[in-house]
Amino acid sequence: MTQLARIPEVLSNRPAGPMGDSPLSVVVVGHGRWGANHARAVTDAHGVRLQGVVDPRPEARDLARQRYGVPVWSTLAHALDDDRVEAVVIATPAHTHADMVGAALRAGRHVLVEKPAATSTADAEAMVAEADERGLQVSVGHTFLYTQPVRNLARWLWEGAPSTPWLLRSERLGGQRRPDCDVLWNFGPHDVSILLHLMAEPVLKVAARGHRFPSGRHLDAVTLDLEFASGVRGEVYLGWRHPGAKRSLRVLGEDWAVTYRHGHVNGEDTLTRTGAQSSPGSDNVLVDGCNQGPRSGSLHGYREPLKVELEEFAVACRTGRPTVTGPDHLVAVTSVLEAAARSTARDGQAEVPDRAAVASRRPQLGRR
C-alpha cells in the first residue's frame, strides 16, 4: 500500500487566469447557510466583487448588510434592475432554480447555480439553450470538481494509470434530512459529477433503488448502478441514515486501486494507491499541488475550492470559455439523476436520453 497524500481541503492561491480590467460584479441570491458561504467567498476570491445580496427574509438581508456593507434586495427582479450586476450566484432551494436562472439569463446576466441546477433534463436544457442564445455563461456548483484531490486523480487516470479503470464505487453517508428533496437530489449531484468527470464519457444506463425510513418524507437511502459508454461500471451509495459522516471513492483497475477519502484524517483528505506500478513519476501527479510536509494544523499556501469555483466562473464570463461544470456537465449530471429518479420509482432501469449525453472529451483542468 502506498500512502499518496494527506490533502487539505483548499487549493493553491495562484489566481485562476486573466480577469479583464475589473472584477466580475456578482449578486448572491439566498443568504442561508450555503449562500452565506458564497457571499463570504466572493469577498475573498480573486477577480470577483460582491455587488449585493438577495433574500426575502429581512433578518437575512440585515445580516448581509452588516457583514459586507453592500446593497440588499428582497427579490431577484430588484437586483437585476442594477446595471452594475454582471453575474448572479443562485443558492436557493432546488425547486426555484429553473425560474431564477431563466430570469437572470433573460436579463443578460451570467449564472452560477448551486446543485442540483435543475430537477429535470428539460429544465437543464432550457437553461443551456437560453445561455447559448444570449452568449452567456451558465455553470453549476459541483464544488468537488474544483478540489485538488479530484483534479489530481482525474489527471492520473488519464495520463498515468497502469490500465483503464473498470469499476468506480462511491459512498456518501450521514447528514441531515432535507425537507425539500430526497437524498438522491441532495447528495447525488456530488458523486455523479465526480464520476462523469473522472471517466470523461457519458453514462448510458442507470439502475437505482431507493429506501425510505418510516419517519421520513423522502428517500433516505439510494443505490445507483451506472453503465458508462465504454462498459465501465459505477456504483454509488447515498444515505442520510448513517452514524457519522463517510465520504469515499474507490477506483479499481484490473490489479490496482486508488482510494480517495474526504475529511478522513483530522478533517483532511487522503489518497491511497495499491497494486500495479503506474508509469514512472506518474504517482507525483496524485500529490501535485498538495502539502506533503509536517502538519501544524494551519493551511498555508492553498485555496478553498469554493473560491476556486468562483474564480474560474469569473474567467469563463470574461473569456467565453465554459467552466469544467458548464453546460455539457450541467445537462449530463441532471440527466443521470433524472434517470435514477425514474428508476427508483419503479425499481427498474432507465436509459439516459442520447441528447443529454455529455460529449466524450476530456475537460480542461485548471492547473495551479
Give the residue extent of every domain in the chain: 16-143, 147-294+327-356
Dist CA 308 CA 11 (whole Å) = 8
**List of residues 6+ apart from 358 with CB closer than 8 A:** 196, 201, 202, 328, 329, 331, 332
Question: In this structure, is the dihedral angle defined by the CA atoms of residues 100, 106, 112 and 116, taken in order, positive or negative?
Answer: positive
Dist CA 140 CA 326 (whole Å) = 6
Dist CA 201 CA 359 (whole Å) = 7
Q: Which residue has the cell 436544457?
A: 125
Q: Which CATH number is 147-294+327-356 given?
A: 3.30.360.10
Q: Containing H/E element for 239?
A: strand 233-239
The CATH architecture of the domain made up of 16-143 is 3-Layer(aba) Sandwich (3.40)
Dist CA 279 CA 246 (whole Å) = 31
Fold agreement between 16-143 and 147-294+327-356: no
Could you read off the pLDDT tens digit of each residue along the chain, which spans 368 residues? 444 444 444 444 444 444 456 899 999 999 999 999 999 999 999 999 999 999 999 999 999 999 999 999 999 999 999 999 999 999 999 999 999 999 999 999 999 999 999 999 999 999 999 999 999 999 999 999 998 889 989 999 998 888 999 999 999 998 888 777 899 999 999 999 999 999 999 999 999 999 988 887 888 899 999 999 999 999 999 998 888 788 999 999 999 999 998 875 566 777 788 887 767 666 666 766 555 433 222 223 357 899 999 999 999 999 999 999 999 999 999 999 999 999 998 876 667 776 545 444 444 444 33
- Helix, strand, coil percent values for the chain (each to nearest 5): 35, 25, 40
Q: Note the helical H segments in 76-225.
A: 76-80, 97-106, 121-134, 148-159, 183-199
